[in-house]
Structure 1
Amino acid sequence: MIELLFLLSFAVVLIFTGVSLVGMAFAVLAGFVVMALAGMIGVMFKLLPWLILIGVAVWLYRGKKAGCHHRDRYHRR
């Protein structure tokens, strides 16, 4: 799917700029940008379950730590 996006962006840029050396450079640049963005989005979705797991673990740890701190404060009085 990502390769198809690359080819489409490459072809669209070549159509708009014409087939020249400058047009080829712009097409390669546009293809690189499309591939880089698609790759970053893919990595984000691949790591999303781990990020959610880390967020839940930190939330639970902070909740437990805050609960213990309040209990200690009430026992000291």
Structure 2
Amino acid sequence: MFELIFVLIFVATLLVTGITFMTVLAATAIALIVMFVLGMMGVVLKLLPWLIVIALGVWFFKNFVYSTR
């Protein structure tokens, strides 16, 4: 949600200052890409403890529970 608010304020600021429409579109595209990448990194960091727990569970299952024939 904060990413969307940032992009809308960014576009409004560019339009009010009188920058050309093509520049506004380019800046908006770059801002959306940056916010998307930062949002994805935030999700990964938020899920990192669970990913570590899952990796440890898979390792434990492969090494101690599951026996090969």
Q: How many residues align?
A: 57
Largest Rg, 1 or 2: 1
Q: Which has the higher contact order (CA 8 A, sep 6+)?
A: 2
Unaligned runs of 5+ in 1: none
Kindly report which structure 2 residues correspond to 1:38-77, keeping only aligned pairs within 5 A, or say none.
38-64=38-64, 65-66=66-67, 69=68
* Structure 1 Cα separation of the partners of residues 34 and 44 of structure 2: 15
Which runs of 5 or more residues in structure 2 are unaligned?
Answer: none
Runs of 4+ in 1 over 6 A off after TM superposition: none
Compute the displacement of 1:59 (Å): 0.3
Deviation readout 1:5-58 (Å, 9 max, x if unpaired): x67xx6xxx7xxx81000000011011001000000000000100000000000
SS of the aligned residue for 1:19 comes to: coil
Cα RMSD, aligned residues only: 2.4
Percent of residue pairs identical: 40
TM-score, scaled to structure 1: 0.62
The worse-fitting range, judged by mean Cα deviation, of 18-27 and 33-42 is 18-27
Higher helix proportion (structure 1 or 2): 1
TM-score normalized by the length of structure 2: 0.69
